[in-house]
Amino acid sequence: MALRLGDTVPDFTQESTEGPIRFYDWAGDSWVVLFSHPKDFTPVCTTELGEVARLKPEFAKRNVKVIALSVDDATSHAGWSKDIEETQGLAPNYPILADADRKVSDLYDMIHPNANDTLTVRSVFIIDGKKKLRLTLTYPASTGRNFDELLRVIDSLQLTDNYSVATPANWKDGDDVVIVPSLKDEAVLKEKFPKGYTAVKPYLRLTPQPNK
């Protein structure tokens, strides 16, 4: 069964480039980005793994751990990591799950038969500290992922978890945000949003980002 937003993601134990990983224990109370790859030694994936290594400090600032998955074994991953370091300037500095038995791929519905009946598609799962699924994205094998967008989404999710706001189209950290429509009491609005707000429409009220 496909995972849906808000579901508790399943735990698993699987081999990786950093030894056996029991997912819940490894994640702890951190957020997690789990991203899958069709196979080792593929060109687009090579660029992606290098980019995530470069961005790891940005994920860490947000209390996010990153973990990759490919259906090849750990020995293959080790050889691929050397290629990634050679071509991208950084080797993966996070674990790559060795999902040769497709256990995790099947558990997280990463194999789409109409796209390819044996290889994982490029799936991304953003999981919060309570093991709840907060975002899924699935890319075709030919299209590399935009990891700056994943950071933007995490910023939005973590902001909106803590304040009564949503983020508008193309929002970036520091931009104005939208007050949720359920808040109507003026006294509550003044308390929650001391910087004030602009009512473009009764249902569209913009306010400066509360935590800035």
Tell me the catalytic residues. Answer: 45
Distance of alpha carbon 76 from alpha carbon 74, whole angstroms: 5
Distance of alpha carbon 86 from alpha carbon 167, whole angstroms: 39
Q: CA dist 59 to 33, 56, 65, 149, 173, Å?
A: 9, 5, 7, 12, 14
What is the rounded (10 degree) CA torsion for 136, 141, 143, 147?
40
Phi-psi region of 173 (alpha: psi -120 to 50; beta: other; left: phi over 0): beta
Phi-psi region of 58 (alpha: psi -120 to 50; beta: other; left: phi over 0): alpha
Find the helix or strand (DSSP H, E) in which 133 lies: strand 133-139
